[in-house]
């Protein structure tokens, strides 16, 4: 029994559509909500008069306290070394939609994504390189954090 030509193409288009829809829903599901910026008042310390040693000492003391406070806020646990993105999602996006740089957009590299999109994935060279980098968890997000390992 032969299948008509039109039905075969419809099945291919529907299958491709289902794959794309599942990938898009996966990206939307894993994308965190936009961060809101809090209005933080930044204390500006007046520059000291270098001729007055008391002002200079107070200035250096305040600078040291600010540095200590910043270092206390840094997380000490290794679970914070990873970003919000998933290595598995980035891999699947690169595998199926690498030519349109969906994985770069997912990781926040919009400039590289535009360049990769214009060159069609560098004729698949960038796609293959990115697949290797994502597999080894070397491709970081725009904040310099590694994706959560699979």
Distance CA 102, CA 109 (A): 10
Q: Which domain holds residue 68?
A: 47-75
**Structural domain includes residue 21:** no
Q: What is the pLDDT of residues 54-64, one digit of tens each?
A: 777 888 888 88
What is the domain count for the chain?
2
Q: What is the pLDDT of residues 72-120, one digit of tens each?
A: 665 555 555 788 899 999 999 999 999 899 999 999 999 899 888 888 8
* Same domain, yes or no: 62 and 88: no
Distance CA 150, CA 128 (A): 19
Residue for token pair 């008509």: 4
pTM over 0.85: no
* Same domain, yes or no: 101 and 138: yes
**Structural domain includes residue 5:** no
Q: What is the pLDDT of residues 6-17, one digit of tens each?
A: 777 877 877 877
* Same domain, yes or no: 139 and 117: yes
Phi, psi values for residue 52, rounded to 5°: -100, 115
Predicted pLDDT at 8:
78
> What is residue 42's three-state secondary structure?
coil
């Amino acid at each position: 029994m032969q299948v008509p030509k039109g039905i075969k193409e419809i099945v291919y288009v529907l299958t491709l559509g289902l794959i794309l829809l599942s990938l898009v829903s996966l990206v939307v599901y894993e994308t965190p909500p936009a961060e809101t910026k809090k209005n933080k008042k930044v204390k500006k310390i007046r520059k000291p008069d270098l001729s007055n040693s008391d002002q200079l000492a107070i200035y250096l003391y305040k600078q040291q306290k600010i540095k200590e406070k910043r270092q206390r806020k840094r997380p000490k646990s290794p679970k914070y070394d990873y970003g919000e993105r998933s290595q598995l999602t980035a891999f699947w996006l690169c595998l199926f939609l690498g030519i349109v740089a969906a994985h770069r957009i997912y990781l926040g590299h919009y400039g590289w994504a535009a360049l990769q999109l214009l060159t069609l994935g560098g004729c698949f060279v960038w796609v293959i390189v990115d697949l290797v980098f994502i597999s080894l968890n070397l491709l970081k997000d725009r904040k310099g954090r590694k994706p959560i390992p699979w």
